[in-house]
Structure 1
Amino acid sequence: MKEALSLPSALRAWLAEKLVESLEYDIDETLQTLWVTEAKKRRDEIRSGLVQPIPGEEALAQVRRLLES
């Protein structure tokens, strides 16, 4: 860990990417299919105008307010 953290940032980023890629093989295919289906549904809702997206900062502020109450 200490060695990895001492690498230059570009190499750390490359290593992180490779580590994440190595985990992707453990993904449950059924779960992956469900996520893709949900993502496409949300995309279509936005494209059709059924749902209006909001900026990430605003979404996080709303979540924080909900958690505080």
Structure 2
Amino acid sequence: MSTHPLLKVEISQLSISERIQLAEDLWDSILDRQDEVQLSPLQQQELDRRLNRHRQDPTAGSSWETVKQRLGSSQ
């Protein structure tokens, strides 16, 4: 996948927090059209594995809010 050179330069000029927000916005735009996303069998298997692991111990790991706070405080 190639990136338009202008876009790459503009992204490199963003702060880390702005890049994180951009990634979140991009992900949200994908979720809005998730019915168009095709997963390979291996990807589906990995997602199922992670979901099962979460169901076994929902307290393991960190919430997205906690991760965002950690990332924000490391800048």
The TM-score bracket by the shorter chain reads 0.3 to 0.5
* TM-score, normalising length: structure 1: 0.43
Structure with bigger RCO (C-alpha 8 Å, 6+ apart): 2
* TM-score, normalising length: structure 2: 0.41
Identify, as 1 or 2, the structure richer in helix.
1
Asked which structure has the greater CA Rg, the reply is 1
